[in-house]
Structure 1
Amino acid sequence: MAQSSPATVARPYAKAAFQTALEEKALDSWSQTLALLEALVKEPKVSAYINDPRHSEKQLAEKLISLCGGQLEPKAVNFVTLLAEHHRLPALDQIHAQFEAAREAHERRVEVEVVSAFALSDEQQRKLADALKKRLDREISITTSVDDSLIGGVIIRAGDTVIDGSLRGRLAQLESSLNV
């Protein structure tokens, strides 16, 4: 029997969490809750506990809920219990990622990662954000980093879209076309 991909497993749970958050007008709260839960299950000791078959689903849920120190709303407690019952706690990273993607789509915004060969000035970042806002028809949040191996130019990641305008990328394309 083929096993489902983590993204497929996470989809209905992320959708349910998102619908609940929308109904409650609590997108921020659910986003923070899922981020907390994801961070907890990524902790090596917690991960080992979750993956230990000697613990029941109830024990797993209780442990994770207790680690949250009373920060979970009742519906989030129910959500953790449901995830534990269906052996989906390890999928929390995918659930959180899909929740955030749904939130970005709903709010018509996108997180953009810009990697450049040199640090971008505030003015360059603003111009880039304005151009991307027009192109993607979304509100833009930019995070930047520097990778001097790019030699020159930038790589832009916005969701599933990657624009490689780096000199390293262009040289790789040229090399590929010459080796045909």
Structure 2
Amino acid sequence: MAETSTVARPYAKAAFEYARDHKALEAWSGQLASAKQVAADADFDAKVVSNPKLSHDQKTALLLEVCGELDESLCNFIRTVGSRGRLAALPAIAEQFEVLRAEEEKRVDVTIVSAFDLDAAQQDKLATALKKRLNREISITTRVDRALMGGVILRAGDTVIDGSVRGRLTRLRDALSA
């Protein structure tokens, strides 16, 4: 069977293009997140999505019922996904939709892992530098990991910048042992 991300890609692209063209990116984003949460629930998956006794239409109807109020066009999209037996890919579709939305809006979520809490000025300085380097709006999430000893690790999409003391020591060790 194909990878879930491979299956999800064309659906996410179609959903994104529809939502963008109808100026409904934010609405679709929120509603897809709700559908993703339901579809990704282990109990729902075991009792509905993976249940061979239910037809694709029954599974889709149950998902839509649990999701509650959704835009009619999104319901139709989910019905299309469900009729093709792809409800299990709905979480991946929602994730890829968000990636496409972030690209469209020229924004990126950045995770900053530091050895110590960063104050607002330090976060602003990092955000400004990243905005300039990545040419995107930056949304920062911070986390503390005392094992870093000092410095920070920045994760922005596929880009990782390791400026931690632990990372530098690891690179030094690797260089000396080579």
User: Normalising by structure 2, what TM-score?
Assistant: 0.96
Task: Find the residue that maps to 2:8 and give its secondary structure.
Answer: helix
Aligned to 1:78: 76
CA distance in 2, matches of 1:179, 1:93: 43
In structure 1, stretches of 5+ residues that fail to align are none
Residue 53 (1) aligns with residue 52 (2): yes
In the other structure, the counterpart of 2:66 is 67
CA distance in 2, matches of 1:88, 1:164: 38
Shift of 1:93: 2.0
In the alignment, the residues of structure 1 paired with residue 6 and residue 121 of structure 2 have an alpha-carbon distance, to the nearest angstrom, of 41
Find the aligned partners of 1:77 and 1:136 in 2 and give their Cα distance: 36
Give the corresponding residue for 2:96.
Answer: 98
Mapped to 2, the partners of 1:139 and 1:158 lie a distance apart of 11
Number of residue-to-residue matches in the alignment: 177
Matches within 5 A, 1:95-174: 95-174=93-172
Structure 1 residue 7 displacement after superposition = 1.4
Report the Cα distance in structure 2 between the residues aligned to 1:102 and 1:42, rounded to whole angstroms: 20
Establish whether residue 17 from structure 1 lines up as the match of residue 20 from structure 2: no
Provide the identity percentage: 50
- 1:4 shift after superposition: 2.2
Deviation readout 1:82-124 (Å, 9 max, x if unpaired):
1111221111221111111111111111111111110100000
* Larger deviation, residues 27-36 vs 170-179: 170-179
Shift, 1:179, TM fit? 2.2
Distance 1:76 1:111 in 2: 25
Match of 1:87, SS state, is coil
The structural deviation recorded for 1:33 is: 1.1
Distance (whole Å) between structure 1 residues aligned to residue 50 and residue 173 of structure 2: 46
SS at match of 1:112: strand
Corresponding letter in the other structure for 1:41: A
Whole-angstrom CA distance in 1 between matches of 2:10 and 2:129:
35
1:68 maps to a residue whose letter is C
Return structure 1 stretches of 4+ with deviation > 4 angstroms. none
Unaligned runs of 5+ in 2: none
- State the one-letter code of the partner of 2:59: L
